Structure 1
Amino acid sequence: MEHRKIIHVDMDAFYASVEQLDNPELIGKPVAVGGNSQRGVVAAASYEARKYGVKSAMPSAKAAKQCPHLIFVQPRFHRYKELSAQIKEVFFEYTDLVEPLSLDEAYLDVTENKIGLNSATLIAKEIKQKVKERTGLIASAGISYNKFLAKTASDMDKPDGLYVILPVDAEEFVAKLPVHRFHGIGKVTAEKMVMAGIFTGKDLRKKSLEDLKLRYGKSGQYYYNICRAIDPRKVQPTRDTKSVSAERTFEDNIYEWEDVIEEIERIAHISFERYKKSKAEDGHTITIKIKYADFQQITRSKTEDQAINEEEVYVQVAKSLFTEQLLNEEGIRLIGVGISNFKKDEEPETPSQLTLEF
């Protein structure tokens, strides 16, 4: 497999850092971006807040208990998008092979770049410096020869990190890496691996491909590859939309069927509007997501033979997916509605086993 030069750039505490940038009074203080209500959720936390265990996706009430002097600020996505666009402009000065993952992170393939610089590390340094000069924000960067290693590297020395994993060091690096640090291995899976005696990449490497597929299904192939520092995925400068959705968390739990149907209809209209504004076309599958007060979550889906492009059909299908049997005595705290299975969707590429020359 040909070695590529991949950079993963990840902005440090992006939303919270933007708020501190725009309001200097917040600098050095624990900041959480998100609603400060019983139903609120932390969208991002500053590094000062993280010292108290505050992190993204944490309920705001729990975050406030862990850090009583935590400062909550409402998210300003228009501002985050504005700065994200400026950051991406920096990326495109070096390569057109930019794969954004979100507003605050992206992969760059700089194997062949616009400035003719052979060193990916020097390019990453320049990018970090330009981002800081133009936006006032700090980025961390990981550099390696594939996406998995570059992503892992960017998280090794945060904040303001710059970490390189060379091909000659990759296998040893991965062998020592705890499984919970592997990008693509979630918390629950990592805990199951530890229970099975798999603590590091070295332990994972002892498992056969057949065993990993049996234990973890389609993900088994991916785990087999990454514990050997193999990741053949290319940086994709264009990413097809896989789903479009909208959801709402309620201040008070919903208990009655009529109220749930009313909310599904309201959210479905919002979701459909986003669908029509997106580049996605001819969706066939409608999905509703229900999260109960105890945080248990279910989904229900329906796939139509004909593409769903009429708002009335979209809303009616969404409403039909909820039945009285899905009501819960503890109530419903969140409802989501989305559409997927678009015309251009294709089966995801499954990484094949490869041998790298070192």
Structure 2
Amino acid sequence: MRGEATVLHLDLDAFFASVEQRDKPSLRGKPVVVGGVGGRGVVATASYEARAFGVHSAMPTAEARRRCPHAAFLTGRFHAYQEASATVMALLRELSPLVEPLSLDEAFVDLAAGGLAETSVDAVAALARRLKDDVAQATGGITGSVGVATSKLVAKIASDLDKPDGLVVVAPGSELDLLRPMQVTVIPGVGPATAERLRRIGVHTVADLLEISEEELVRVVGQAHGRGLFWLARAEDDRPVVAERETKSVSIEDTYETDHVDRRVLDGLIGRQAAKVAERLRAAKLSGRTVTVKIRLHDFSTHTRSSTLPAPTDDGRVVSRLARSLLGEVDTSGGVRLLGVGVSGLADWIQEDLFADESSAEEEAAGDLLPTSPPMSAEWRPGMDVEHEAHGRGWVWGSGKGVVTVRFETALSGPGKVLSFAVDDPALTSLHRPRR
């Protein structure tokens, strides 16, 4: 265990929603929900204004609409989030060569590896304040909450204590004082099922957990999990900040005796490969952000296509959906002799593909949404960036019944005018059409 608070955890506040509010002046200070906008969608992030109405991540979009019908419901703009994330990660790497991103909006930093000259609580707090100021300035006002402690466990918990825009430095030796009164679910790995098992033996807080022997914990939740809980409850966490992982990717590829031409067959083959890759990820307790397909054609030419998700996944449906989309970018009409699917950008945590709707684009275009949801064209998704030859840049406010409504504004313009156009207006183009 470290003797100084030199593990920093940065968590950008309501990141996706904050980027949308930054880039859409008319939404600043108003409820914003980002995620799947269809009837079967899931919330990825809600702004703090929407959270005041009980909206939170992983909530079904249908429930979010009931709780906050006046919110702006937007699809994800991955390019904008990736750009902002890259800016923040570059600032973190100026502090230390050991930066471990957990997602686009979250990372650990080993300050000791960066040659920190002064490790007192005051000095570390001053460094963290400068970092927060630098992040806000470099990203156009996006805030982050920072926790600094002697371990990953406590640093991550600390970053969540004073959100949004918070800063908590946990002095060495005070870790248990911080943890004892907290609910046991603050310990990583204690989800609803584990929490219920612990509740049955009278464990509600970390203080309760400290009273349980290692043997009893192993009996209740299993050997690996029980031993981990026993030590984490005591703030014993010596996991290092790891900039790169040993396993770079998980992949499968198959060569076929005869060339395949039928697109339905190819979709089925790549779907099965994606499912196997996802199984291997789950078995290794890993998830990944970047999906890559490899296609060798009848003439032995080899093509690869990749796409990166906003957060890691181990869901076979997500990997399969993206792999099929990437396969569609290659002309396979002459026949395919090899197919492969791989997932890289690995992490040891998992977030569902919260931007996806299980309903198809055709269902959404046909209005398979809640009564409170406006009709939506599959080609013009709420929140997407567009440009009009006469009116300039803006974003899709809504669409349906052959009409797309656009608010013309940018991050630097102030709230803009709202105009409607035919969905096939040649003067209106999408700047970053999302992958399907």
What is the TM-score normalised by the length of structure 2? 0.58
**Structure 1 position 132 matched with structure 2 position 136:** yes
Task: Compute the displacement of 1:244 (Å).
Answer: 6.9
Q: Counterpart of 1:167 in 2: which secondary structure?
A: coil
1:238 matches 2:239: no
Who is 1:99 aligned against?
100
Counterpart code for 1:184: G
| Correspondent of 2:148 among 140, 143, 146 | 143
Shift of the 89–221 alpha-carbon distance from structure 1 to 2, 3 Å rule, reads same
Whole-angstrom CA distance in 1 between matches of 2:273 and 2:113: 45
1:146–1:231 CA contact under 8 A, matched in 2 = yes
Q: Which residue of the partner structure matches residue 431 of structure 2?
A: none
Cα contact 1:128–1:139 (8 A) shared by 2:
yes
- In the alignment, the residues of structure 2 paired with residue 288 and residue 225 of structure 1 have an alpha-carbon distance, to the nearest angstrom, of 30
Conservation of the 8 A alpha-carbon contact between 2:187 and 2:229: no
Structure 2 unmatched ranges of 5 or more:
253-263, 278-290, 295-303, 307-313, 319-336, 343-357, 360-436
Which amino acid is the alignment partner of residue 126 of structure 1? R
- Partner of residue 75, structure 2: 74
**2: distance between equivalents of 1:289 and 1:82?**
27
Q: Name the one with the larger helix percent.
A: 1
Q: State the partner residue of 1:173.
A: 178
Q: Greater strand percent: which structure?
A: 2
Q: What residue in structure 2 maps to residue 228 of structure 1?
A: 234
CA contact (8 A) 1:42 1:58 kept: yes
1:55 is displaced (CA, Å) by 1.2
Matching residue within 202, 207, 216 for 2:207:
202
**Change in CA separation of 1:128 and 1:214 when aligned onto 2, cut-off 3 Å:** same
CA drift at 1:8: 0.4
Q: Give distance in 2, aligned partners of 1:35 and 1:111.
A: 40
**Counterpart check, 1:86 vs 2:87:** yes
| Change beyond 3 A, Cα 1:275–1:290 | closer
Shift of 1:191: 3.1
1:274-315 CA distance string (max 9 Å, x none)? 255699xxxxxxx98479xxxxxxxxxxxxxxxxxx854769
The alpha-carbon distance between structure 1 residues 275 and 102, as it changes in their structure 2 partners (threshold 3 A), is farther
1:112/1:92 Cα in 2 relative to 1: closer, same or farther (>3 Å)? same
Match of 1:183 among 188, 205, 217: 188
Please give the alpha-carbon distance, in whole angstroms, between the structure 1 residues aligned to 2:204 and 2:111.
33
> 1:128–1:192: structure 2 CA closer, same or farther, 3 Å change rule?
same
Map 1:99-118; keep pairs closer than 5 Å: 99-114=100-115, 116-118=117-119
Q: Determine if contact 1:49/1:70 at 8 Å carries over to the other structure.
A: yes
Contact between 1:117 and 1:123, CA under 8 Å: does it hold in 2?
A: no
> 2:36–2:42: 8 Å Cα contact kept in structure 1?
yes
User: 1:306-325 counterparts in 2 under 5 A?
Assistant: 311-312=338-339
- Report the AA paired with residue 3 of structure 1: G
For the residue of structure 1 that corresponds to 2:147, the secondary structure is strand
Determine the structure 2 residue equivalent to 1:3.
3
Q: Which has the larger radius of gyration?
A: 2
Say how many residue pairs are matched: 279
Name the CA shift for 1:201/1:38 in 2 (closer, same or farther; >3 Å). same
Q: Is the CA contact 1:152–1:183 (under 8 Å) kept in the aligned structure 2?
A: no
Instruction: Give per-residue Cα distances to partners, 1:177-212, cap 9 Å, x unaligned.
Output: 111222332233223322321011111011111221
